[in-house]
Amino acid sequence: MSDQQSPDALARFEGELAQHAYAFADGLFESDRDQVFNREGWGLCARLGIQAMNLPEAHGGSAVGYTEAAHRLERLGYHCRDNGLLLSLGAHMWGFQSAVVRFGTEQQLDSMVPKLVRGAMIGGLAVTEPAGPEPSAISTFAQETQTGFLLNGTKRYVTNGNTADVLLVIAKTGRDDSFLGLSAFLVDARTPGVSAIRESTMGVRTSGVSTIRLEDVFVPFNYVLGGRNQGWRIFNHAMNTERAMILAPTVGTICRLLESCTAFVRTRSTESRRLGSFQSVTNRLADMAVDLRACSALVRALANDLDHDRLSRSGSCEAKLFLSDAWVRSSMNALAIHGGLGYLTQSDIEREVRDSFASQIYSGTSDMQRNLIASWLL
């Protein structure tokens, strides 16, 4: 990915986002209630160049660099209140696209990248199964034929599962239960035998979290990604990148929450006292400010590591853990500051709380991140 762009380019991008803030929020209450994916918002992001940021210039992408991408995603998180859309973008860009860019053949890139740039193709990463995400739990099997593979199995908790045009499926190509017998397949979601069941979720309800069933799904040899038995290597690359970058928009979200809470505290009174005169209230604002600064510094440090190809697995896990916990803390602080007003379903705060808790689950739970970090320390 290329060097970061000029301040003028950033200013133009910020201006475009500000102009479209209403479009991102339009109908969000109803979309969240009815669990409807925001296709208009997805297309708008494509027109703003979001999906193209980590795609190669040779194939029509912009490859702006991870540091630049992080900055733009932070501002997107500030102006876009649709956290389900932001999750779908993150899973698509960092779980799916990053793997295709790193391991795809020229033929695969030629056929996919132009559609990805236009927002005409949505991707999803399908790894976790009913028994879990670890290699020994994967039972989806790819039986080799004369012209390709037949896939059979079930995948759970697939972000974009019911909206994806292409799924990156990790499946067994050997009888070995270890990571050595796994391969990655690019599966056209329209292929006979592919079915998606949308799950009803507590938060990020505008993102399609789904169960995927594969029944004798044929995948040609040229849609194997990275070669046979490279599935776990590809998955680790995707997860390392995703954990580092998927919560970059959260920096903008926490900034927006802090600004709205500060404005509320300045103007609200209770018991004939200004709300800002209560130390228990202002302490929450201080905590949010500290989280905002720490999250911003952490995201930019890891983006810089990615730009220089030196991101560690522990670093990405630390970022995922800290940012998800900070988002939960900030949303809960916002709820406490707004009181009954924040608890109403019509408020952004109530939805923000529900959405924030999802971040402690997707891309590996917070407890899983702690276990991984500790294992590298001992």
Between CA 352 and CA 73 the distance in angstroms is 18
Query: What burial class does residue 342 get, using C-beta atoms within 10 Å of its C-beta: 0-12 exposed, 13-18 middle, 19+ buried?
Result: buried
User: What CATH number should be reported for the domain holding residue 62?
Assistant: 1.10.540.10
Asked whether residue 58 is domain-assigned, the answer is yes
Domain limits for position 210: 124-229
Domain identity same for 106 and 198 = no
Domain identity same for 258 and 290 = yes
User: What CATH number should be reported for the domain holding residue 158?
Assistant: 2.40.110.10
pLDDT of residue 136: 81
Q: If the chain, 378 residues long, is cut into consecutive pieces of 10 residues, what is the mean pLDDT of each piece?
A: 64 89 92 96 96 93 92 96 98 97 96 95 96 86 97 98 97 80 96 97 96 98 96 95 97 98 92 89 98 97 95 95 98 97 93 98 96 95
Asked whether residue 234 is domain-assigned, the answer is no
Domain identity same for 133 and 22 = no
Per the structure, the count of domains in the chain is 3
User: What CATH number should be reported for the domain holding residue 358?
Assistant: 1.20.140.10
Q: Find, among 133, 151, 135, the residue nearest to 143 by Cα.
A: 151
Asked whether residue 2 is domain-assigned, the answer is no
Domain identity same for 252 and 363 = yes
pLDDT of residue 134: 81
Domain identity same for 108 and 34 = yes
Q: Find, among 100, 98, 94, 92, the residue nearest to 120 by Cα.
A: 92
Domain identity same for 136 and 205 = yes
Asked whether residue 240 is domain-assigned, the answer is no
pLDDT of residue 293: 98
The structure's pTM equals 0.95
Between CA 188 and CA 171 the distance in angstroms is 15
Last residue of a domain, one of 73, 106, 122: 122
pLDDT of residue 5: 59
Domain identity same for 220 and 147 = yes
Asked whether residue 296 is domain-assigned, the answer is yes
Asked whether residue 236 is domain-assigned, the answer is no
Residues forming a β-bridge with 307:
none
Q: Residue 89 corresponds to which tokens in the numbers above?
A: 């973008």
Domain identity same for 366 and 252 = yes
Last residue of a domain, one of 122, 148, 174: 122
Last residue of a domain, one of 229, 258, 283: 229
Domain identity same for 252 and 371 = yes
Asked whether residue 238 is domain-assigned, the answer is no
Domain identity same for 266 and 370 = yes
Contacts of 105 (CB under 8 A, 6+ apart): 222
Contacts of 188 (CB under 8 A, 6+ apart): 165, 166, 194, 223
DSSP 179-222: GGGEEEEEEETTSTTEEEEEPP-SS-TTS-EEEEEEEEEEEEGG
Domain identity same for 133 and 105 = no
Domain identity same for 255 and 372 = yes
Asked whether residue 15 is domain-assigned, the answer is yes
